[in-house]
Amino acid sequence: MEEIELERQGVVYASTVVRVSSPAGIKAPYAYGYVDLPANQLRVFALFTGADPGSFVPGRKVEVVLEPIGADTEGNAVIGYKFRPVSG
């Protein structure tokens, strides 16, 4: 096993807006999908943030950001990765 560093920017491959709250505790509506990281030839599952949920159409450029994604059973924030639109 070898650890590699992934590029921080990618392109939305596919997306959806979920209109019902998830069992993982995320309030609707929320957007997720798959982001392609071309330099790594890798596709990752990702929640989207920082823009209208319906705006993460395939082809949109996005970048990774660390954010709370929920809380554990003891109320501690759980930090995860999300993708937001590339700024500028």
Partner 1 sequence: MRDVYIIGAGMTQFGKHLERSLRDLGREACLLAFRDAGIAPKEVEAGYCGNALAPAIQGETGVGQNVFWEVGISGIPIVNVENACASGSTALREGWMAVAGGFYNVVMITGVEKAVMPKGTMLNVGAGELATKLGEVFPGYFATIAQKHMERFGTTREQMAQVSVKNHIHGALNPYAQFQKKFTLEEVLKSPMIADPLTLFSCCPNSDGAAALILCSKEKARKLNGRAIRIAASVLATGTYENQRDITNWEVEIRAAQQAYKMASLGPEDLDVVEVHDAFTICEILHYEGLGLCPLGEGGRLIEERATELGGSIPVNPSGGLLSKGHPVGASGVAQVVEIVWHLRGQAGERQVEGAKVGLADMMGGNKEGDTRACTVHILVKE
Residues engaged in binding partner 1 (CB under 8 A): 13-20, 22-24, 26, 30, 32-34, 36, 41-43, 45-47, 54, 58, 69, 80
Strands 77-85 and 42-48, by their bridges, are: parallel
**How many C-beta atoms lie closer than 10 Å to residue 13's C-beta?**
14
Shortest distance, position 9 Cβ to partner 1, whole Å: 17
Cα separation of the two ends of the chain: 37
4 vs 24 by CB, closer to partner 1: 24
20 vs 88 by CB, closer to partner 1: 20
Shortest distance, position 88 Cβ to partner 1, whole Å: 27
- Residue 66 tokens read as 């660390």
Shortest distance, position 4 Cβ to partner 1, whole Å: 14
Strands 30-37 and 77-85, by their bridges, are: unpaired
